[in-house]
Structure 1
């Protein structure tokens, strides 16, 4: 499986697509704003990443707006929040066969580039 979950309007995601050439590497691209993540897709990501928390973005504006930083969130909370609001998914998420790459830090992007080669 080659799948890439991103936000079409996110300049960071666009830069990663350009840098890695992921759009030319046969990945199925899913813009999470226009095509919501299904519970089955999220559960598959969780299996690969180890937890819903690993897929959760604390940088989302709604994280502060909803006062979530002051709450103890459970795995169920993380799952429900990601399904409810696409901005809570740490982006981008790339799945290449049995490996998952979550987020945009340099190490993750570099590892993704190496795996695509």
Structure 2
């Protein structure tokens, strides 16, 4: 699997995409147009270790829906991410068995180094 899940209207995602200089065989998926599917999300959970690790608590709907006041379970995180793309940390980069999630500096740098070495 070689995919880059991003939000096309997000400047940070656009910047990261350019920084990574992704190979041509990576499928670009705008999560606003095509949200992540359950099979891929579950596969990522196995790689990352939890659904919470892929969940964006910065999403505006996190507070507006009162989720910040609830004790969410792993099943809740999964459900919300499948229902609403804004709950996904972004971008998601999947390249074979390698996964990078979010825009944290260390994640982006790790992905950038990987793609630079594997051109």
> Paired residue for 1:4?
4
Separation (CA, whole Å) in 1 of partners of 2:48 and 2:28? 19
TM-score by length of 1: 0.95
Gapped regions of structure 2 (runs ≥ 5):
none
- Whether the 8 Å CA contact 1:25–1:116 is kept in 2: the answer is no
Superposition pairs of residues 23-42 of structure 1, within 5 angstroms:
24-42=23-41
CA-atom RMSD, angstroms?
A: 1.0
- What is the distance in 2 between the residues matched to 1:82 and 1:11? 21
Moved over 3 A (4+): none
Distance in 2 of aligned mates of 1:36 and 1:27: 17
How far apart, in 2, do the equivalents of 1:5 and 1:58 lie? 18
TM-score between both structures, scaled by the size of structure 2? 0.93
